[in-house]
Amino acid sequence: MTLQINGKQVELPDNVNSVKKLLLHYKLESRIAVVELNKEIVKKEEYEKRKLVNGDTLEIVHFIGGG
């Protein structure tokens, strides 16, 4: 599956087909993150049911402590 993530085209395994699985794939599942799918912010409760399809555009920002 081809997705546009943070401005870059990314090729991902077909089983990475939900927002939840995408966050797991990037090891961001335990972090606080804001995910936007096709210009719309996805609520945390919907991470599992929001499916991803070829060509979707995502923006992901996760928070970090350092500085």
Partner 1 sequence: MKTRYSRQELFLGETAQRKIRNGRILIIGAGALGSSSAEMLARAGVGKITIVDRDYVEWSNLQRQHLFAEEHAEQRIPKAAAAKQRLEQINSHITIHSLICDIHGLNIGEIVKGHDLIIDASDNFEIRLIANDAAVKQGIPFVMGACVASYGTTFTVLPGETPCLHCLFNHLPIDGMTCETVGVISPIVQIITALQVTQVLKILTGAPIEPILKSVDVWKDERADIDVSRLKNADCPTCGSGPTYPYLQYENQTKSEVLCGREAVQIRPAATREFILQTFLDKLKGLVGNPIINPFLLSCEFAGHRIVFFKDGRAIVHGTNDLRIARTVYNRFLQYYTD
At 59, the amino acid letter reads E
Q: Would you count residue 62 as binding partner 1 (CB under 8 A)?
A: yes
Between the alpha carbon of residue 22 and those of residues 13, 55, 65, 67, the distances in Å are: 10, 14, 22, 27
Residue that has been written with the tokens 């961001």 in this structure: 28
Contact region for partner 1 (CB under 8 A) — 11-19, 25-33, 48-56?
A: 25-33
Q: Would you count residue 54 as binding partner 1 (CB under 8 A)?
A: no
Contact region for partner 1 (CB under 8 A) — 18-26, 34-42, 47-55?
A: 34-42
> ∠ CA(52), CA(42), CA(53), 5° rounding?
10
Q: Would you count residue 14 as binding partner 1 (CB under 8 A)?
A: no
For partner 1, the binding residues (CB under 8 A) are 5-8, 30-32, 34, 36, 41, 59-67
